[in-house]
A and B are shown apart, each in its own frame.
Chain A
Amino acid sequence: MAQLNPDLTAAKETGSAPVFEAAGLKKEFDNGQVQALRGADFKIADGEFVAIVGPSGSGKSTLLQMLGILDRPSAGTLKYRGQSLLDLPDPAAYRAHEIGFVFQAFHLLPTFTAIENVQIPMFEDHKSRLERQTRALELLKSVGLEQRVNHFPAKLSGGERQRVAIARSLANSPSVLLADEPTGNLDSVSTEQVLDLLSTLHRDRRMTLILITHDMTVAARASRVLQMMDGRIVFDGDPAKLSAPKPT
């Protein structure tokens, strides 16, 4: 496995630093005409389940992409376990081994079966073909899809696709899961199944789970909520104390 930084491994083992620590985080587009983030400050501890809520355009997805280094801030600092994410020598290794992504639109590769989709992230982990296959099968079993391993995404229901995507996000045993509206395209039954699965992963694997949602019932499952508005965090605390946002 690619090593990010020896200090990071130590921080991970001792839990001495927050998983994420942001200060004055800003993001501008179109030469400053659009300000997606206007100075976000927060810390997320190891093993927390944090829901980020807010209306469309409030900066939730931009923030999540920065946590995954899919985008870079215009200003401010962002640290992962005490190390600046902006100075990481190998962002790909960070994405491959430290975090897992789950998307609203699943983003499964259509020409690959469920088990093949789960193997995709493992190519950067230098596992053998057999190891990849075995690991992918284990993960699909863990999300209850052992009967669907050889199905292509088009033959799976929305809930099944999202469970494959969750299995894929766990391929390289990350410590953080970043989920961008994971239930946004699901019916109520599938939403419950996926949320149960995410909650179980958070509890059993002690993963840090950061989840974006519009749905306050989904946010209620988190231990903490960050509410965003116009690029700022306007609430940070217990979900029970958050007033329902206006519909968007």
Chain B
Amino acid sequence: MTFFEVVTRSLKRRPVRTGLTLLGISIGIAAVVALIGLSRGLVTSWSSGMKSRGTDIVVSNMRGSLTPKPFPASTRDRISHVSGVSGTCTILVEFTSIENAELMIVSGREWGCFAWENLKIVSGRLPKDQNEHVAVLGTSAADILKKKVGDTVQLETEELPVVGIVNGGAFVENGSLILSLPLLQQITGNQNQISAIDVRVTPGSDIQRLCTEINRLLPEGRADTAGEHVATGEGYRVINAMSWGTSMLAVLVGVLGVTNTMLMSVFERNQEIAVLLALGWRRGRIVRMILLESALLGFFGGVVGVLLGVAGVQLLKMAPAVRGMLEPYLGINLMIEAVIIAMCVGVLSGLYPAWRSSRVAPSVALHG
């Protein structure tokens, strides 16, 4: 028998109570995995979408909101000549409900720019020119809307024929309805307005230096590398903070649950602890035993929580608000973080009960 077995035996003594406590922690950890997974998924989904389009720098006005605010398309002329910029693509992005989809990305792209190049035709074709009143759908968007080539899609007051289904190579691209920039500007009443300029740089250029240069030329906008574009936005920061805040509330409930369980366990075992002291166990070993018990509760709660969180995220992915818009991030880093948080919860929750256990007076407890 090892010390570890002594600890696990204590946890097995009251399986229902241990199980319920585990469930309490795991719900908190599941919230961490689900909410943080979704908020990080926002960044990774948009970053991968930009990478798929071949975008190195994004110029937008994201301050104070998650979605970019429209600005004049002519702004592009102020940066297209900058040394190191090999190409630009003006884009207007709208988030709107389309038919049975509560929220969908609608992407209007400057005709002929590099943002069209990544679209691989699955069926049908691309628009013939920028004036053709047609749209193409990403594969996921087509699934969500249940459309195929030849059907029409209702965008605001316009009914647009679907001429192609495309694979954009990224979750966000595949979840989008894509059409030419002038057509979207006309439909949404945003004539000559865009929401972003995708910039492609010449190989070997210093991207950070280019961002600095563009920011100097466009003080009203902001240039970020494609990977940082969403993550540095204030809107994303708010979402991230809310995700952590909500998760931590759930984790706090877990902390209280474990503390309660461990305190009950210590009170129940006062006499046993006194016996252990009489048999020569140091108070430090008793404290370690209680802390290890609560840390183990945290660890297993974390593992179960990760599994619940992953399952929950799969359900959330199907929710109309996020379906096709973002791929939740469920990387190993997040799982490890969640389990570490759970173990910290366990140790933190065990501190007071462990301290109480170290205060047991053996002479009193043995007579109790």
Q: Does B248 contact A (CB under 8 A)?
A: no
Chain A residues with Cβ below 8 Å from B281 are 92, 96, 120-121, 123-124
For the residues of B in contact with A, the DSSP-based class is helix
Q: Does B367 contact A (CB under 8 A)?
A: yes
| B278 CB contact (under 8 Å) in A68, A97, A112, A132 | A68
Report the contact-size class of chain A (Cβ under 8 Å from the partner).
20 to 34
Spot the interface stretch: B5-13, B92-100, B211-219, B315-323.
B5-13
CA distance A61 to B362 in the complex (A): 12
CA distance A132 to B2 in the complex (A): 9
Interface contact B10-A111, CB-CB below 8 Å: yes
Q: Does B332 contact A (CB under 8 A)?
A: no
Q: Does A162 contact B (CB under 8 A)?
A: no
A81-124 to B contact mask, C-beta < 8 Å, 1/0: 00000000000110111000101000101011000100111011
CB within 8 Å of B: which A172-225 residues: 172
Q: Does A141 contact B (CB under 8 A)?
A: no
Interface contact B285-A95, CB-CB below 8 Å: no
User: Given that A111-B12, A116-B1, A119-B1 are contacting pairs, would A71 and B279 also be in contact in the complex, using a CB cutoff of 8 Å?
Assistant: no
Q: How far is the CB of A108 from chain B (nearest CB, A)?
A: 9
Interface contact A95-B280, CB-CB below 8 Å: yes
User: Given that A107-B366, A129-B2 are contacting pairs, would A124 and B280 also be in contact in the complex, using a CB cutoff of 8 Å?
Assistant: yes
Interface contact A107-B275, CB-CB below 8 Å: yes
Smallest CB-CB separation from A121: which chain B residue?
A: B279
Interface contact B276-A95, CB-CB below 8 Å: no
Chain B residues with Cβ below 8 Å from A101 are 278-279
Interface contact A95-B9, CB-CB below 8 Å: no
Interface contact A123-B3, CB-CB below 8 Å: yes
A10-21 to B contact mask, C-beta < 8 Å, 1/0: 000000000000
Interface contact B279-A132, CB-CB below 8 Å: no
User: Given that A107-B271, A107-B275, A111-B9 are contacting pairs, would A93 and B366 also be in contact in the complex, using a CB cutoff of 8 Å?
Assistant: no
Q: Does A35 contact B (CB under 8 A)?
A: no
Interface contact A71-B363, CB-CB below 8 Å: yes
Q: How far is the CB of B12 from chain A (nearest CB, A)?
A: 7
User: Given that A92-B277, A92-B282, A120-B276 are contacting pairs, would A129 and B1 also be in contact in the complex, using a CB cutoff of 8 Å?
Assistant: yes
CA distance A212 to B362 in the complex (A): 18
Q: Does A65 contact B (CB under 8 A)?
A: yes
CA distance A71 to B364 in the complex (A): 9
Interface residues of B (CB under 8 A from A): 1-3, 6, 9-10, 12-13, 271-272, 274-283, 285, 361-363, 366-367
Interchain Cβ contacts under 8 Å between A and B, 20 examples: A65-B363, A65-B366, A68-B278, A70-B274, A70-B277, A92-B277, A92-B281, A92-B282, A93-B280, A96-B280, A96-B281, A97-B280, A109-B272, A112-B9, A116-B1, A120-B276, A121-B279, A121-B280, A124-B280, A124-B282
Interface residues of A (CB under 8 A from B): 61-62, 65, 68, 70-71, 92-93, 95-97, 101, 103, 107, 109, 111-112, 116, 119-121, 123-124, 129, 132-133, 168, 171-172
Known: A120-B6, A121-B281. 7 other contacts (CB 8 A): A65-B363, A93-B280, A96-B281, A101-B278, A111-B10, A112-B6, A124-B282
